[in-house]
Structure formats: structure tokens, C-alpha cells
Chains A and B, each alone.
Chain A
Amino acid sequence: MRPVEPAALSVEGLSHAYGERSALKDVTFAIAPASFTVLLGLNGAGKSTLFSLVTRLFGTQHGTIRIFGHDVARFPGAALRLLGIVFQPRTLDLDLSVKQNLLYHAALHGIAPGDARRRAEQALARIALSERAGDKVRDLSGGQMRRIEIARALLHRPRLLLLDEPTVGLDITARAEILAHVRQLVAEERVCVLWATHLIDEVAPSDDVIVLHQGRLLAHDAAPSVVADAKAPDLRSAFTALIAGGSQSEASEAA
């Protein structure tokens, strides 16, 4: 019998606090390989904390995180090599060229220089930025930088890609381009994507949606089911209703 493939990302009973302030409360979910999941939440919902824990910037205080079955706390190397991440703030080195940024990332993953150069060229060709390879990152537009960050996150061929509010600060055209590009990656390369955002219009009907509010997971289902469960006309109303409900239960708990 073939073993069942483990979830691309599974989170169990995850709680995290900064001193007194609780950022995540008993969050549990699992997302399937080659799926596109939108992590919806307002600012301060705990999205970035969740990403910092998955990438092991912080150690987990309570709960477990597994990437394709590898426990992040116990086997960080095995887990992190399957993971690509695009952080919300820009993390490219502005003074280095596009290509130097990509080669540096490849080296951090132990990819040999020859192979790294090949992968960097392919990656740039794919996002139609080959001619900018020698330019300093500083001279690029916000949308171009984002595309390069995504290309960089994919250089070591991860199977799970996390993006933390990747369209923040981009204009409408660039936003649509980035979103289409990432959806294409899911369809063609079977990369699993977890896309954190507070912009509801970035959700497509075929996506899975996780709603996070004040550190709690309020819903996790296919987008149409989330709408149906909330008996709402559309996702925006469903999200508003969920959040109102979440805040209420918070208030009644406190009382």
C-alpha cells in the first residue's frame, strides 16, 4: 500500500504569546499539497507570527508545526529545505544586483555555483526580467522586486511557498500579475501556496480559505463553503460576520 502523502503544512494546537500578549491561540489546520490556500485576517490577526513560527525565526512555545511531515522544531533542516518564503517587508539586498541576490540565496541552500547560475537564469527568464539581471535591485519597481522575491523563494525548488501580504504597496496591475503568476505555479509546478492577506478580493472561488482573527482560527474550508456556512451572500459579508462572531465570543469569554 502506498503511504498517504503528509499534508504540505500541518499545524496542531499552536499557541504563541509575546510576554503577556497572546498572538496565536490553539490554532490547528492542515493544507494539502499543490493547493492554493488564502490566510485571511486583519492586521494583528497573527498571520506574521504564524509565518515566523513556521520558518523557525521563533521557536514554538506550544504545539507542533510539520512541513510534509517534518517537525520544524525537531528537524528544522529537513523542514526548511522544503519551504520557500516571501516576507512582507522587502528582504532583497538593495545594493546588490538582481543576479547577486539570487546567487546568494542559492548559496544559503548549498546549491553549487554552476547550478545556481542556471537556475537564476531560468527563474529570471520565467518572470521576464532576464535583461535586468545585472541591475541593482534599488533601481527596480515594487512589482519587479516582488516577482524577484518569489523567484528567489523558488530557487531551491521548495514544495511549500508562504507569502506574507505579497501585494502590499503594489498597484492594481502588479497585484494581478503577481497573483496570476503564483496561481500558475500551483497549477503547473504543483507547489503548495499559503497566501496571507487582508484583501478579500484576492480570493478566487476555487481557493481554500483560512480565517484568522485575534489569534484564533475561525474558519477553514473551500471559499464557497465558508460563504455558505456563514449564510452570507458573498465572502466579504461572511468574513465580516465571522469576525464579528469571533470578537463576540472573545468578549463573552472575558466577561
Chain B
Amino acid sequence: MRRLSAFLLVVALAVHACAQATGGQGSPVLLPVDEHSFAQIRAAAKGKVLVLNFWATWCKPCLEEFPHLVKLQKHYEAQGLDVMFISVDDDDAKTTRRVRSVLATMGVEKPSYLKKSRNDEGFINAVHPSWSGAVPTTFVYDRNGKLIAMRSEEMGFDDLEKIVVPLLR
């Protein structure tokens, strides 16, 4: 199961890299992630400033801050920023369609992730042991992969810029 999970993630990261190279045209790509494969998402972003946003379709504040994160990506992508969205929604077909629909509406062109784990607590702890599981939560890592900020609250564009911009210099 872990091998399959690792294989899927390698494929996912290849798609991610390909989509980035091509500018990510088309409908949003949604990739699975679980407690085993999460670390590889972070590892793949090494060398970039990584903003990881955990959200859900049922979470109103998440949807309200979404445009700020999309804008942040567009503003600072060329300087080495990578904003990734990880949905913690259930992964049934109906909900997955809803997740894709939100991503498309928000104009997310890059591949995003959907939690695919039967062990929510294991997933939460794999992301960070101090994370309560509350959404929205945004994690910011520097270019070396060091955690710089973890915010369990709705963030505005200015809030995000304050944390991210110094790391891009």
C-alpha cells in the first residue's frame, strides 16, 4: 500500500512539474496525498518558498481567503514562490467534483491535492504535530524547507505578503 502510495506521488509530482513547465493550462489537476506521501510534497518544493494551504469546501473562511493565496502565487511565482492547496474534504466522487469546481472557480491552474487517508489524525500529525486539524491553516516554509509560520486563521493578502516577501529575497 505504501509502495502504491509512493508510486502515485511520484507520478503526481511528475505531473506537477510538467504542469508548472507548461504553465498549467486546462482544468485543475487534483492529486491524492496521505500521511505517508505528504513529506514528498514538501521535499519536491525545496529551493522554493512554499505556502501550503489546508482548506475544505465546507469551510467558508477558507473560500474567502482563497483568492488572496491565488493572487500571492501569481505575484511572486517568478521569484520562487510555490503556493499549494491541500483539501481535507472527503474523497468521495461527489465531494471531489465539488473540490475541482472550487479550484476551477478560484482560477487555480497548478496541480492541487486532496487528502486521501482513512486516518485523519495520522495525516494531521504528519503535517505537523502542533496542528490541531483546524482549517483554514496555512504553513509557510523557507527555501531550505524550514517551517517559518503556521497560521490557523483566515489570512489576507497583506498578512501573507508580510511573511512570504522577506523569504523570497
Do these two chains interact? no
Binding site for A on B (CB under 8 A): none
